[in-house]
Amino acid sequence: MNRNRRADWRRVKGKLSYTIDEAARALGTHRNTVRHWVKKAGLPAMTETRPHLILGGNLVAFLQAKRASRKQKCGPGELYCLRCRASRRPVPGLLEYRPLTRTRGRLVGICSTCEAILHRFVSTRRLTAVAAEFNLQIGDHHESLADSALPALNCDSSTPAEK
Ligand SMILES: [Zn+2]
């Protein structure tokens, strides 16, 4: 079922031009998705015509680039949504970092488009950069965890009173 929903450029004829509706139909995707690609994602379209026309060749190149970049990483401030099958911004304020090991953790958020769970594995080396990218307060989280995890180790009562 997932495979059927993936926009497949092999159904696009490079030498034809498509309206947004036609492109959506050829790809088996929603026309709003194609519209979004044109408006926000850099898919070139001939916008001086009505309806707008997309060259098949551009559409194929766009989908290939999109797939390639999807395999690498999302844009700044984005996580990959498995349900949308696209990079999405997480809902602000509902994003958190969950440590998995000493060197690795997971960013977990909620898709601002479909509300599915988003996540991305992050190595702790990149954590500072990622926190800045998502405007995430990881330092505070750490401190509060440390505070509660180490209750009375430095407590005066355990200090031997020898002088
Ligand atoms: Zn989504």
What pLDDT, in 10s, does the model give residues 142-162? 444 444 444 444 444 444 444
What pLDDT score was predicted for residue 149? 43
Contact 118, 150 (CB under 8 A): no
State in Å: Cα 156 to ligand 1 middle: 52
Q: Which of 2-6, 68-72, 133-137, 157-161 has the highest mean pLDDT?
A: 133-137
State in Å: Cα 45 to ligand 1 middle: 25
Using a 10 angstrom Cβ sphere, with 0-12 exposed, 13-18 middle and 19 or more buried, the burial of residue 90 is buried
State in Å: Cα 123 to ligand 1 middle: 23
State in Å: Cα 100 to ligand 1 middle: 24
Contact 18, 59 (CB under 8 A): yes
Where residue 9 falls among pLDDT bands split at 50, 70, 90?
confident
Contact 71, 81 (CB under 8 A): no
Where residue 70 falls among pLDDT bands split at 50, 70, 90?
low
In the block, residue with structure tokens 């991305």: 120
- Specify whether the backbone of 115 is left (phi greater than 0), alpha (psi in -120 to 50) or beta: left
State in Å: Cα 104 to ligand 1 middle: 24
pLDDT digits (tens, 9 = 90+) for 87-143: 889 998 889 998 888 888 888 999 999 999 988 888 888 888 888 888 887 654 444
Q: What is the pTM of this model?
A: 0.42
d(CA 35, CA 103): 40
pLDDT digits (tens, 9 = 90+) for 20-61: 999 999 999 999 999 999 888 888 888 888 888 999 998 988
Integer angstrom CA distances of residue 35 from 21, 45, 52: 9, 10, 10
What DSSP designation does 19 have? E
